[in-house]
């Protein structure tokens, strides 16, 4: 790769692979970031939509129990493959969380084990541990908070969801690395998984992404600086316009021109997740504004970046009201005049309409919250 045009093509083609089955798409991505906001669909569904043939909003949650994935924290909270999860666990030896051997935690784990799978409401009704201040500054049941922590520690797993609420069951992970060499190999594999997810990465973003692995493996947070140094020696890289860019060695620049297609991307889609890289590649600042006061929003509550070929030329705010989809479009400069754009845009709007109108879950409400491990990337 020699130019920013090469990097743009690579960023899009590397991540937006041809639609395949849900299981294969999850295996290829390894991680899909989750978010509870549905506007018009949840982030995980919007991310999978262009990568899975015939995907409908809510398919991941409906089919979750049949898929080889787990809800867990990687660089953010989301869905990870079991092979990726195995690299992060067991999360032991970190002193900032309540130990699973504490009397309260042991009692909750015994309660879950006795009932196979439990809803937080059942645990709260049995123990009534009071309330605590949650990550967002609001009030949560202390029991729910403890369940979140036990899930993060790997003592529990999400068996399924009921109207957006996590239902837990007991989980046991294998042993940790037996040697320094094995531990470093696991950390390096986590770094490579993150780079593979978000490549190509400028040097500053590589440092940031590796730093976020403190959420995936807090027990190794003090070893991430050394892991970053190893990664810079191991990864493929090139200096373009004075900036060093990194990607995994097996990744290649695609041949030919980018597809003549439009795609509405999720706010946390791998193509746009790194806001620093986004601005470097496409020359304008995309911001996720769901948590921005309405008076200060510039793009909209849940704007979806609008990809045309290998350029993000604008954004779309899609709503779904009483069974009817509406799409409000905005452009960075002006609407592309290419005739092919109009037909490609119409096709994408129809794909989005099918994705939404064929889903049986859009009438339900989400009442779950993000876990304590961190906010979405903005």
Largest CA-CA distance found in the chain, in angstroms, rounded: 67
pLDDT computed for residue 361 by the predictor: 62
> Alpha-carbon distance 252 to 238, whole Å?
13
pLDDT computed for residue 168 by the predictor: 97
Instruction: Tell me the mean pLDDT in the region 177-190.
Output: 98
pLDDT computed for residue 100 by the predictor: 53
Mean pLDDT of the chain: 90
**What are the tokens at 196?**
């593979």
pLDDT computed for residue 256 by the predictor: 74
pLDDT computed for residue 128 by the predictor: 72
* Pure H helices in 235-332: 275-282
> Alpha-carbon distance 207 to 197, whole Å?
15
Query: CB pairs under 8 A, 24+ apart, for 290-298?
Result: 290/37, 290/39, 291/378
325, pLDDT greater than 70: yes
pLDDT-wise least confident of 146-150, 187-191, 227-231, 255-259: 255-259
pLDDT band at 376; cut points 50, 70, 90:
very low
Instruction: Tell me the mean pLDDT in the region 171-180.
Output: 94
Instruction: Tell me the mean pLDDT in the region 253-262.
Output: 83
pLDDT band at 322; cut points 50, 70, 90:
confident
pLDDT computed for residue 253 by the predictor: 73
pLDDT computed for residue 43 by the predictor: 97
pLDDT computed for residue 167 by the predictor: 97
pLDDT computed for residue 154 by the predictor: 95
> Alpha-carbon distance 116 to 124, whole Å?
16
pLDDT-wise least confident of 94-108, 182-196, 219-233: 94-108
69, pLDDT greater than 50: yes
Domain edges within the chain: 103-170, 262-357
Instruction: Tell me the mean pLDDT in the region 79-84.
Output: 98
pLDDT computed for residue 201 by the predictor: 98
Share of the chain above pLDDT 70, in %: 89
pLDDT band at 368; cut points 50, 70, 90:
very low
Instruction: Tell me the mean pLDDT in the region 294-308.
Output: 97
293, pLDDT greater than 50: yes
pLDDT computed for residue 371 by the predictor: 44
* CATH entry 1.10.10.10 includes domain 103-170: yes
323, pLDDT greater than 90: no
Question: Which phi and psi angles does 73 have, rounded to 5°?
Answer: -100, 130
* Pure H helices in the chain: 4-15, 22-29, 43-48, 59-63, 82-88, 103-115, 120-127, 142-153, 180-198, 203-211, 213-216, 224-234, 275-282, 339-357
> Alpha-carbon distance 135 to 373, whole Å?
8
pLDDT computed for residue 370 by the predictor: 39
Residues 101-160: tens digit of each pLDDT:
588 889 999 999 999 899 999 998 888 754 544 443 444 567 888 999 999 999 999 999
84, pLDDT greater than 60: yes
Instruction: Tell me the mean pLDDT in the region 69-83.
Output: 98
pLDDT computed for residue 143 by the predictor: 83
pLDDT band at 1; cut points 50, 70, 90:
confident
Instruction: Tell me the mean pLDDT in the region 48-54.
Output: 98
């Amino acid at each position: 790769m020699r130019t920013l045009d090469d990097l743009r093509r690579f960023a899009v083609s590397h991540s937006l692979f041809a639609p395949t089955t849900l299981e294969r798409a999850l295996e290829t991505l390894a991680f899909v970031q989750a978010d509870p906001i549905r506007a018009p669909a949840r982030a995980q569904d919007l991310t999978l939509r262009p990568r899975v043939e015939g995907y409908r909003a809510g398919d991941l949650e409906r089919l979750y129990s049949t898929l080889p994935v787990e809800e867990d924290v990687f660089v953010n909270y989301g869905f990870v493959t079991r092979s990726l999860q195995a690299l992060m666990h067991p999360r032991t030896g970190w002193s900032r969380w309540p130990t699973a051997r504490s009397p309260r935690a042991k009692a909750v784990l015994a309660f879950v084990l006795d009932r196979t799978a439990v809803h937080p409401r059942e645990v709260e009704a049995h123990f009534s541990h009071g309330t605590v201040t949650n990550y967002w500054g609001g009030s949560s049941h202390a029991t729910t908070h403890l369940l979140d922590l036990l899930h993060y520690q790997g003592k529990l797993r999400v068996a399924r969801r009921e109207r957006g609420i996590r239902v837990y069951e007991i989980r046991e992970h294998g042993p940790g690395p037996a040697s320094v060499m094995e531990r470093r190999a696991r950390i390096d594999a986590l770094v490579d998984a993150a780079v593979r997810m978000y490549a190509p990465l400028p040097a500053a973003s590589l440092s940031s992404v590796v730093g976020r692995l403190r959420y995936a493996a807090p027990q190794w947070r003090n070893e991430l600086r050394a892991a970053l140094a190893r990664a810079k020696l191991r990864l493929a890289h090139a200096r373009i316009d004075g900036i060093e860019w990194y990607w995994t060695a097996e990744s290649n620049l695609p041949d030919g021109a980018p597809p003549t297609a439009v795609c509405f991307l999720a706010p946390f889609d791998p193509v746009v997740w790194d806001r620093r890289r986004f601005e470097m590649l496409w020359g304008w600042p995309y911001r996720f504004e769901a948590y921005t006061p309405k008076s200060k929003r510039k793009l909209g509550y849940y704007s979806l970046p609008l990809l045309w070929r290998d350029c993000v030329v604008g954004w779309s705010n899609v709503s779904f009201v009483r069974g009817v989809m509406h799409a409000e479009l905005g452009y960075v400069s002006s609407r592309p005049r290419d005739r092919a754009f109009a037909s490609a845009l119409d096709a994408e709007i129809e794909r989005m309409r099918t994705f939404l109108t064929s889903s049986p879950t859009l009438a339900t409400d989400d009442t779950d919250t993000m876990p304590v491990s961190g906010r979405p990337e903005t």
